[in-house]
Amino acid sequence: MTQTMVESRPGTATAQAPAGEGQARSREAVLRVFRGDASGGSEVEYRVPVAPGMVVLDAIHWIQAHRAPDLAVRWNCKAAKCGSCSAEVNGKPSLMCKTRLDHFAQDRTISVRPMKTFPIIKDLVTDVSWNYEVNKRIPPFKPRPGADWRWQQSDVDRVQEFRKCIECFLCQDVCHVLRTHELKHQFAGPRFFVRIAGLEMHPMDGEDRSGFLKDHAGIGLCNITKCCTEVCPESITITDNAIIPLKERVVDWFYDPLRMVWRKLTGR
């Protein structure tokens, strides 16, 4: 084993077999992958040889290379950094590049399906363009006039959390307001509350998005179930740190008369 790996560094004499081939014939995983498009489809079973540390995305790539070259899937980084490879693995919204095969019981079939909340294009690829449309409507960063561009790390620790978002849209996929109630036209979804929180809590930002949050982003529709927080691969505490403070802002802005007067006077 050691030897194979040594020789597989670039520039050396022997190339290594692709992950999953050759070395670890001993174990196979059984995947049931959704195959189909807008006109319908079904799960297809594939048996995939397993290598140590293998993730679901590796298995999908193996299937493409050996069984189904036209199997559609999105991916880029393979390191949970780009948010491309979102799918539902055994019903759980997950990044395929981060979901290890050895976390499932050996004898269990692993089902891999596209995100349900978005219209299917083909196989594991869905049409997520709605998210890009929502994003366009969010009032952008607007620096306060005359701002001094100095602040302490402690001032931005909180807002940096929101900026970790890799736009995998798994939180959008799981949120019942979008998934079950299909209120896409009224509700921006957790991803965009995270984004708005990132703008609102930016130390230099001078824009006010309370009206947008209430009337266009539909923040009132969120009933704090925290399902979004549970699936976030970046461990962003979406509900507690982003949504709840934003809800409070909206309440403050629209319903607290003293603050309203103060804000009118100070322009904030």
Residues in touch with ligand FES (CB under 6 A) = 75-78, 80-85, 95, 97
Contact region for other proteins (CB under 8 A) — 15-23, 41-49, 213-221, 254-262?
Answer: 15-23
Q: Which does 85 bind (CB under 5 to 8 A by kind): ligand FES, ligand SF4, other proteins, none?
A: ligand FES
Q: Which does 236 bind (CB under 5 to 8 A by kind): ligand SF4, other proteins, ligand FES, none?
A: ligand SF4
Nearest Cα to Cα of residue 49 among 62, 65, 34: 62
* Pair 54, 76: CB distance under 8 Å: no
* Pair 132, 44: CB distance under 8 Å: no
Measure the CA–CA gap between 249 and 247, rounded to whole angstroms.
5
Q: Which of 184, 191, 209, 249 binds ligand SF4 (CB under 6 A)?
A: 191
Q: Which of 123, 192, 194, 232 binds other proteins (CB under 8 A)?
A: 123
Q: What is the DSSP string of 68-123?
A: -TT-----S-SSSSS---EEEETTEEEEGGG-BGGGS-TTS-EEEE--SSS-EEET
DSSP 8-state class, residue 55:
B
Residue 199 found at the interface with ligand SF4 (CB under 6 A): no
CB of 134 to ligand FES, least distance (A): 21
By C-beta, is 208 or 252 nearer to other proteins?
A: 208
Please provide residue 49's backbone torsions phi and psi, each rounded to the nearest 5 degrees. Answer: -65, 140
By C-beta, is 20 or 83 nearer to ligand FES?
A: 83
- The contact set with ligand SF4 (CB under 6 A) reads 83, 165-171, 174-175, 177, 190-191, 194, 222-228, 231-234, 236, 238-239, 243
